[in-house]
Amino acid sequence: MIKLISFSLAFFCSSFVSQPEAAVQTQTIYDFKVPSLNGGIIDFADFKGKKILIVNTASKCGFTPQYEDLEALYKKYEGKLVIVGFPANNFFSQEPGSNETIEAFCKKNYGVTFPMAAKISVKGKDIAAIYKWLCNKSENGVMDAKISWNFNKFLLDENGKLVAHFKSKVKPMSEEIVSKL
């Protein structure tokens, strides 16, 4: 009888003890969909199984010639790597144009064929959600990063995990990047 009362009391009490809530599902790169330069949508879920290099770009920057190497990298690792450019006007108004102007500039001057997102902000109060995720360990689970200038690069692996952040001076075809592809 005592065992029955003890079991009943334990069962009754356990129903009032708070149980840990299910783990909150964190956002992944695959949850992001962003407008493209040409009015379409870039859905990062479409890139599952490929490495992704995300780059904040600008048309009137000393690093703008990196578009040429970005395109060469994209072609060299086609099918294995996707590059997504994000034009941003955060640094000395080096990307003042409209989406249409940016798209024309990239195609005419550098033959860019990799996906280009619509112009966004990569820092500050109006930072785009994807860059907030990329730059904050509390969101991406891997690292904090600061966008210090145009042509910062973020590399994600085939599973969408952030693996590296490269500053502007690291060229797209550098050993630092290529060795991780």
Active site residue ranges: 61
> How far is Cα 151 from Cα 155, in angstroms, rounded to an integer?
13
Sign of the CA dihedral with 69 first, then 70, 75, and 79 last: positive
Q: Kindly compute the dihedral angle of the four CA atoms of residues 57, 168, 156, 27, in this order, to the nearest 10 degrees.
A: -70
Cα 32 to chain centroid, rounded: 8
Q: 166: closest CA among 154, 181, 157?
A: 154
Structure tokens at 97: 């144009």
